[in-house]
Structure formats: structure tokens, C-alpha cells
């Protein structure tokens, strides 16, 4: 797996998970005066120059693209904080350190659209990639310990993208063990698959063509 998602196995596409992450709240510093924005999802603003305010990530990116604000880097995206997380991940082979549920998508969007607002951007990106690699290695190691007696798997502090990649593998692995240990399940599955599909007779069909 090595941190790469198979689009045929993942429940959602990476772009779909990223779309959900755009509702996460970030802090911006406007450089213009602007009235409040009344959206279906809520009201944001009014905005005043150099006065920080919080908005959804999608709105922050939209304003940033128009040169109307800078985006403040989240507290967890500093070199010091990420270094601590990486060291803790390496020291705890069975535990995942707490990070924002959408840390992968948030960091990607900020690097794509507000790289100039991130201090030590290159080092921050490198640390996040190292953290991802270490966490995915833990997941792969955990999958190797699954046996036929496993009824559930608990992985605390996984992020949205990690869950999206891991869950299909987990489900299929457990299903394979259950079918191997329970021949009756295989027999039932075979009977269901070979049973002809019955279609109820609902009477004559009406002609739906326009006259």
C-alpha cells in the first residue's frame, strides 16, 4: 500500500475526501474591507484589513486566489509540532498520534494555494510526508496480524484519508477469513449466486411515449 490509494478499493475518491475537508475552519487575515458574505451554509464576515477571522477552508482559498487575504498556518503545521509528532510515531509502533482528521487534505490544499503563507514550507511538507509513511507502515503491519479469530480491529486517531484507504482492505481481509473458517457461508453465497432472479409480473406496461 505504502500510502497509495487504489481507486477501485477506496470507498471515496481522494478528490471527494478533499471536498469534505474544505469545510474545516481556518484563520485568515484580510487585506481589504468587505461586507459579510451570506451563504447557504452560514454568514461569514464582515471583513476588515489586518483583523484575523475564521472561515471555512474553501472560502479562505477563494479569497487567497483573489489576493484578498493571507491564510494563517494551523498550529499543528509548524516544524516543531510536526517533529514532535514524527518522533512519537516512530517511538510508538502500535499507536497513532492525534492529528486533525483531515490533516492530509488540509495540508495539500494549503501547499497548493497558500504556499507563500507557510513558514519553512519545504521542511513542513517533508515532515508531513514522513509522518504519512510511518503511519501507513503501522497500518500495513497491523494488517499482517489479522487472523481468523479477529472479530474487530481498532485503529485510534486515523485520519479521513487513511480510513478511506484502509477500510476496504480490512473488510475484505476479515471476510476472507470468515469464509475460510465457515464453509456454510461459502455454500450460502454459492446458492445465492446460482439462484435465478425472479421478476414479479406487474401486468402490461403502459406506453410512455408522447402522443
Per-residue pLDDT reduced to its tens digit, 119-169: 999 999 999 999 999 998 888 776 666 655 655 566 789 899 888 887 766
Supply the range of the domain harboring residue 47.
18-72
Q: Do 114 and 67 share a domain, yes or no? A: no
Q: State how many domains the chain has.
A: 2
Which SS3 state, helix, strand or coil, does residue 107 take?
Answer: helix
- Average pLDDT (88-100) is 92
Residues 41 and 100 in one domain: no
Of 126, 135, 127, which Cα lies nearest the Cα of 163?
Answer: 135
Written as nine digits, the cell of 110 is 494549503
Confirm whether 144 is domain-assigned. yes
Same domain, 122 and 28: no
CB 48 within 8 A of CB 33: yes
Which segments of the chain are extended strands (E)? 25-30, 37-39, 42-44, 53-56, 69-71
Residue 136 CB contacts under 8 Å (≥ 6 apart), including other chains = 1, 2, 3, 162, 165
Question: Which of 28, 44, 72 is where one domain is finished?
Answer: 72
Nearest in space to 131 (alpha carbons), one of 89, 102, 184, 176: 89
- Domain annotation covers residue 3: no
For residue 210, pLDDT beyond 70: no
pLDDT score, position 148: 53
- Say what the pTM is: 0.73
Mean pLDDT for 17-23 is 94
Q: Is the pLDDT of residue 174 over 80?
A: no
Q: Tell me the per-residue pLDDT of 25-59, one tens digit each, with 9 for 90 and over.
A: 999 999 999 999 999 989 999 999 999 999 999 99
Residues 115 and 148 both lie in one domain = yes
Q: Whole-number mean pLDDT of the chain?
A: 81
Q: Does residue 80 sit in the same domain as residue 60? A: no
Are 52 and 83 contained in the same domain?
A: no
Residue 11 placed within a domain: no
Residue 153 forms part of a structural domain? yes
67 and 93 co-located in one domain: no
Contact yes or no for 108/18 (Cβ under 8 A): yes
pLDDT band at 193; cut points 50, 70, 90: very low
Q: 31 by DSSP, 3-state: which?
A: coil
Amino acid at each position: 500500500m505504502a500510502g497509495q490509494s487504489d481507486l477501485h478499493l477506496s470507498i471515496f475518491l481522494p478528490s471527494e475526501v478533499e471536498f469534505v475537508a474544505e469545510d474545516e475552519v481556518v484563520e485568515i487575515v484580510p487585506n481589504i474591507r468587505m461586507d459579510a458574505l451570506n451563504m447557504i451554509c452560514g454568514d461569514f464576515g464582515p471583513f476588515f484589513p489586518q483583523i484575523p477571522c475564521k472561515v471555512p477552508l474553501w472560502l479562505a482559498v477563494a479569497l487567497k486566489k483573489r489576493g484578498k487575504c493571507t491564510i494563517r498556518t494551523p498550529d499543528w503545521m509548524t516544524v516543531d509540532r510536526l517533529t514532535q509528532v514524527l518522533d512519537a510515531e516512530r517511538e510508538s509502533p502500535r499507536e497513532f498520534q492525534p492529528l486533525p482528521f483531515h490533516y492530509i487534505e488540509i495540508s495539500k490544499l494549503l501547499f497548493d494555494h497558500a504556499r507563500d503563507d507557510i513558514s519553512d514550507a519545504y521542511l513542513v511538507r517533508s515532515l508531513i510526508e514522513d509522518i504519512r509513511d510511518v503511519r501507513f507502515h503501522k497500518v500495513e503491519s497491523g494488517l499482517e496480524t489479522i487472523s481468523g479469530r479477529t472479530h474487530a480491529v481498532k485503529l485510534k486517531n486515523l485520519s479521513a484519508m487513511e480510513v478511506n484507504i484502509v477500510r476496504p482492505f480490512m473488510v475484505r481481509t476479515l471476510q476472507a477469513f470468515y469464509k475460510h473458517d465457515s464453509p456454510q457461508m461459502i455454500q450460502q453465497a454459492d446458492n445465492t449466486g446460482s439462484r435465478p432472479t425472479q421478476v414479479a409480473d406487474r401486468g402490461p406496461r403502459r406506453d410512455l411515449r408522447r402522443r
